[in-house]
Structure 1
Amino acid sequence: MEEHFVWVTTRRLRPGSLEEFERAWRPAPYPQGLRRAFAYWSEDGQEITGVSFWDSKDACDSWRTSEPEAQRRAHMAPYVVEEREGFYYGRELAVPQR
């Protein structure tokens, strides 16, 4: 099975700020080594979890310490109440067909 390198970030947002947060959240330039990214919102729009898949931990770390990422985080900061993040290794689980 293919191993994945995954960065997961969960942020609790200020009420009513999801739309503004989303505009600030988009990376520019697009990070090198980023394969795929997903975003999942809570029903009330006050929590968002980002899941990104990377070529390697080094590629992710390079982006996380870059100036464009520091600027992106500064743009998001007014909308974020709390943030948790971590890097994981994993693989897709096989789900039996019904």
Structure 2
Amino acid sequence: MQEHFVWVTTRRLQPGTLEAFERAWRPASYPQGMRRAFAYWSEDGQEITGVSFWDSQEACDSWRDSGPEAQRRTAMAPYVVEEREGFYHGRELALPQQ
């Protein structure tokens, strides 16, 4: 089974700011070593979870310590009330055949 390296960030947003937040959230250039990224938001638009898949933890850490990521976080800050993040190792679960 292939191991995945995943960075998950969940942010609680100020009411009514999801659209502005999303514009600030998109990086100007996409990070080297990031394979895929997904965004999921709550029905009320006040919570958004980003899930990104990386080649390695080092690739993710390099992005997290970069200037473009610092700029992105500064741009998002006015809309964020609370933030939680974590880096995980895992694999896809095989579903039983029905």
Report if TM-score (shorter chain) is over 0.5. yes
Deviations 1:21-78 (A, max 9, x none): 0000001211000000000001110000000000000000000000000000000000
The structure 1 segments of at least 4 consecutive aligned residues displaced by more than 6 Å after TM superposition are: none
Counterpart secondary structure, 1:83: strand
Unaligned runs of 5+ in 2: none
Counterpart secondary structure, 2:82: strand
Identity of aligned residues (%): 85
Letter in structure 2 aligned against 1:68: P
Letter in structure 2 aligned against 1:15: P
TM-score, with length taken from structure 1: 0.98
Structure 1: how far apart are the matches of 2:73 and 2:79? Answer: 10
Matched length: 98
TM-score, with length taken from structure 2: 0.98
Tell me if 1:9 matches 2:9.
yes
Superposed CA RMSD:
0.5
Tell me if 1:51 matches 2:51.
yes
Question: Post-superposition shift, 1:97?
Answer: 2.6
Unaligned runs of 5+ in 1: none
Q: How does 1:80-95 map to 2 (within 5 A)?
A: 80-95=80-95
